[in-house]
């Protein structure tokens, strides 16, 4: 009865009805349909049920090896990344080391830049023609390079420990230092306090960090494709199955195999670990406990942080330096030639990237805000489903999304291959969840009576949304757009499948240069990417953000 009434009421709010229908249609077409195609392709062959690659899973090395490799890398990276993340978080929340804000900024570098820049830097240093590799070879006659497991673990750890850091920083700063202080007051030693109080309280957070980093590592495509050597992982194998063998059933099967551990970890993190959190959110920042650490520990941590930050800075510095050399490893004389190349031959890629980002950013931003509003504030049949579907791609590796898009949009009726639209769509539907989350969080701060008043006074959905809701959550709207834009310029794992001769992306161009062993030009692309990202973050966040925000902040 109530359901039926919800439905009837929609009819009297035509714009809302239209919007709900449209959103569902989009979610079905661009999220559900590609996934269904991947699953179907892995299970059916020539129209018959024939999951042949699943059946051969344990017999074929090209199936089982990448799977085990992925798990190995994921496990090691999760472990190391969480340890480093914990060290950073502990140092920042529980000691008074100098330069905390510098460490925090450095830790965000890998998050906002394309993660595979780290792999590029690692190669500049330790690859075939790396600085250290050459040094070892010429001075000691040792022939060693970083490709394979060591390279994967090194680069992914550096790329993804910031995620653990941010998660744990939140957790540790949520633990009231009074708890630790009272343990100390009761006579417990510092070590005992750490192991009996701090660590147990942080355990759910640590588990969360482990799982999140594990997922990221499994999903990672950019670092493995650069540095995996003869150590194939699932994402790269799936990519090669498509581009090298044009074996879509194999690619689909590999990506479904990838989906299993990632989804498992996601569900565990989301529904089990995060429920176990002891952290109490009081809304007022607690002063950090400085008593609980000894000077020795404090300066020890400081040293560790300096070394790690130093490595990150060194890596980014190397990319910058590499971009100014003629031919890395062979001819290291300085030149601006690479940038001339990037801005002539590579200009088309840069422009394509910007055009596509220019399409995806506003559309994704608006869609995210609209969906957030619909699911938090509106009643209509299927609201829970909309919430679930819109967040689905958050839990799904880009590789599957990319393969799904090839399968779904290669043939009529939805023929999109070769267009800019397909690339933009990948970005929109993959990155939207972050925008939705931010908008939901912000909407929860806004008194529902405010929009209810608008509707009550006669405003239809469109007006209430545009005049009331949007201005009130514009900060989330803007940061959602910044996020989408940044990802357009830096992401690779899904879009690598849908780029074409007509539409290329700068990240893909960078990979091609690595493939051609032209590391200097690759580095030049990397520098351009970083400059664009930083420029846009500063521009959108400050200029545009302030412009839109001014009125609202004045009112607050």
Partner 1 sequence: MPVEVRLQGLTKVFHSHREAVVAVDHLDLEVEKGELVTLLGPSGCGKTTTLRLVGGFEIPTAGEVYLGGKRVTHLPPQRRDTATVFQSYGLFPHMTVFENVAFGLKVRRLPREEVRRRVREALRLVNLEGLERRYPRELSGGQQQRVALCRALVIEPRVLLFDEPLSNLDAKLRVETREQIRKLQKELGITSLYVTHDQAEAMAISDRIAVMNEGRLQQIGPPYEIYAHPANRFVADFIGRANFLRARVVGSADGKLAVELAGGVRLEVPAVAGFEPGTEAVAVVRPEAVDILPEGEGDVTATVVFGHYTGSLATYKLALPSGEDLEVEVLSPQEKGFLPEGTRVGVRFHRQSIHLLEE
User: Helix axis angle, 61-94 relative to 295-323, nearest 10°?
Assistant: 120
Binding of residue 455 to partner 1 (CB under 8 A): yes
Q: Which is nearer to partner 1, 239 or 380 (CB)?
A: 380
Binding of residue 186 to partner 1 (CB under 8 A): no
Least Å from the CB of residue 8 to partner 1: 5
Q: Which is nearer to partner 1, 3 or 192 (CB)?
A: 3
Cβ count within 10 A of residue 37:
20
> SS3 for 332?
strand
d(CA 90, CA 167): 12
Residue from the set 117, 183, 468, 527 that interacts with partner 1 by CB under 8 A: 468
Q: Are the C-beta atoms of 484 and 543 separated by less than 8 Å?
A: no
Least Å from the CB of residue 547 to partner 1: 14
Taking phi over 0 as left and psi of -120 to 50 as alpha, with beta for the rest, 369 belongs to alpha
d(CA 145, CA 329): 13
Q: Which is nearer to partner 1, 334 or 449 (CB)?
A: 449
Residue from the set 2, 48, 59, 143 that interacts with partner 1 by CB under 8 A: 2
Residues 341-400 within binding reach of partner 1 (CB under 8 A): 379
Residue from the set 46, 139, 275, 556 that interacts with partner 1 by CB under 8 A: 556
Least Å from the CB of residue 21 to partner 1: 16
Q: Which is nearer to partner 1, 421 or 455 (CB)?
A: 455
Least Å from the CB of residue 11 to partner 1: 8
Q: Are the C-beta atoms of 109 and 534 separated by less than 8 Å?
A: no
Binding of residue 12 to partner 1 (CB under 8 A): yes
Least Å from the CB of residue 461 to partner 1: 8
Binding of residue 460 to partner 1 (CB under 8 A): yes
Least Å from the CB of residue 25 to partner 1: 22
Q: Which is nearer to partner 1, 303 or 448 (CB)?
A: 448
Q: 325-327 and 44-45: which strand pairing?
A: unpaired
Binding of residue 276 to partner 1 (CB under 8 A): no
The one-character DSSP state at 286 is: P
Q: Which is nearer to partner 1, 456 or 515 (CB)?
A: 456
Taking phi over 0 as left and psi of -120 to 50 as alpha, with beta for the rest, 343 belongs to alpha
Q: Which is nearer to partner 1, 268 or 459 (CB)?
A: 459
Q: Which is nearer to partner 1, 1 or 281 (CB)?
A: 1
Q: Which is nearer to partner 1, 171 or 369 (CB)?
A: 369
Cβ count within 10 A of residue 442:
20
Stretch that binds partner 1, among 437-445, 461-469, 497-505, 513-521 (CB under 8 A): 461-469
Q: Which residue has the tokens 């023929």?
A: 415
> SS3 for 325?
strand
Residue from the set 22, 347, 450, 531 that interacts with partner 1 by CB under 8 A: 450
Residue from the set 233, 454, 498, 511 that interacts with partner 1 by CB under 8 A: 454
d(CA 131, CA 323): 14
CA nearest 406: which of 259, 240, 248, 512?
248
Structure tokens, 4: 């039926």
d(CA 549, CA 123): 43
d(CA 445, CA 426): 30
Distance of CA 76 to the CA centre of its chain: 19
CA nearest 162: which of 289, 281, 259, 77?
77
Q: Which is nearer to partner 1, 412 or 458 (CB)?
A: 458
Residue from the set 134, 331, 452, 515 that interacts with partner 1 by CB under 8 A: 452
Structure tokens, 342: 């990037």
Least Å from the CB of residue 458 to partner 1: 4
Binding of residue 459 to partner 1 (CB under 8 A): yes
- As beta bridge partners, residue 331 has 327
Least Å from the CB of residue 445 to partner 1: 11
What is the phi/psi pair of residue 333, to 5°?
-75, 150
Instruction: Say if residue 510 is preceded by a cis peptide, omega within 30 of 0.
Output: no
Least Å from the CB of residue 367 to partner 1: 23
> SS3 for 230?
coil
Q: Which is nearer to partner 1, 454 or 498 (CB)?
A: 454
Residue from the set 201, 257, 312, 472 that interacts with partner 1 by CB under 8 A: 472
Q: Determine the size of the site formed for partner 1 (CB under 8 A).
A: 32
Contacts with partner 1 by CB under 8 A lie at: 1-2, 5-6, 8-9, 12-13, 379, 447, 449-460, 463, 467-468, 471-472, 551-552, 554-556
């Amino acid at each position: 009865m109530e359901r039926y009434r919800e439905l009837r009421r929609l009819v009297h709010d035509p714009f809302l009805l239209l919007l709900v229908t449209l959103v569902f249609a989009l979610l079905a077409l661009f999220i559900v349909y590609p996934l269904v195609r991947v699953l179907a392709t892995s299970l059916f062959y020539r129209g018959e049920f024939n999951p042949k690659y699943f059946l051969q899973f344990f017999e074929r090395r090209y199936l089982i090896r990448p799977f085990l490799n992925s798990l190995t890398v994921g496990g090691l990276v999760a472990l190391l990344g969480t340890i480093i993340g914990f060290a950073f978080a502990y140092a920042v929340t529980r000691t008074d080391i100098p330069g905390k804000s510098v460490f925090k900024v450095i830790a965000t570098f890998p998050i906002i830049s394309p993660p595979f820049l780290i792999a590029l830097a690692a190669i500049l240093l330790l690859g075939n023609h790396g600085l250290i590799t050459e040094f070892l070879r010429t001075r000691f006659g040792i022939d060693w390079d970083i490709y394979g497991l060591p390279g994967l673990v090194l680069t992914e750890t550096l790329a993804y420990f910031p995620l653990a850091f941010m998660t744990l920083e939140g957790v540790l700063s949520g633990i009231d230092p009074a708890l630790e202080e009272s343990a100390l007051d009761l006579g417990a030693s510092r070590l005992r306090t750490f192991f009996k109080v701090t660590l147990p309280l942080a355990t759910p957070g640590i588990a969360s960090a482990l799982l999140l980093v594990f997922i990221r590592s499994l999903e990672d495509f950019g670092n493995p494709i650069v540095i995996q050597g003869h150590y194939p992982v699932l994402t790269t194998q799936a990519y090669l199955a498509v581009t090298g063998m044009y074996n879509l059933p194999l690619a689909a099967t590999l990506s479904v195999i990838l989906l299993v551990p990632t989804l498992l970890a996601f569900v565990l993190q989301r529904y089990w670990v995060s429920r176990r959190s002891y952290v109490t959110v009081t809304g007022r920042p607690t002063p950090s406990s400085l008593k609980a650490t000894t000077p020795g520990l404090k300066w020890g941590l400081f040293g560790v942080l300096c070394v790690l930050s130093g490595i990150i800075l060194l890596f980014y510095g190397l990319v910058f330096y590499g971009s100014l050399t003629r031919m890395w490893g062979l001819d290291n004389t300085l030149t601006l030639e690479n940038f001339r190349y990037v801005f002539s031959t590579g200009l088309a890629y840069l422009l394509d990237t910007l055009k596509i980002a220019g399409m995806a950013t506003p559309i994704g931003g608006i869609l995210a805000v609209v969906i957030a509003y619909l699911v938090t504030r509106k009643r209509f049949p299927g609201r829970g489903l909309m919430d679930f579907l819109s967040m689905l791609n958050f839990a799904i590796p880009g590789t599957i999304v990319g393969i799904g898009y090839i399968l779904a949009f290669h043939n009529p009726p939805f023929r999109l291959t070769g267009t800019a639209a397909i690339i933009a769509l990948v970005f929109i539907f993959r990155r939207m969840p972050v925008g939705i989350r931010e908008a939901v969080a912000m909407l929860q701060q806004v008194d529902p009576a405010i929009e209810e008043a608008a509707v009550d006074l006669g405003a239809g959905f469109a007006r209430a949304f545009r005049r009331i809701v949007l201005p009130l959550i514009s900060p989330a709207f803007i940061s959602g757009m910044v996020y989408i834009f940044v990802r357009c310029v830096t992401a690779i794992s899904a879009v690598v499948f849908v780029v074409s001769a007509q539409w290329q992306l700068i990240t893909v161009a960078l990979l091609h240069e690595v493939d051609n062993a032209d590391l200097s030009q690759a580095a030049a692309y990397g520098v351009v990417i970083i400059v664009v990202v930083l420029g846009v973050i500063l521009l959108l966040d400050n200029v545009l953000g302030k412009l839109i925000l001014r009125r609202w902040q004045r009112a607050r």
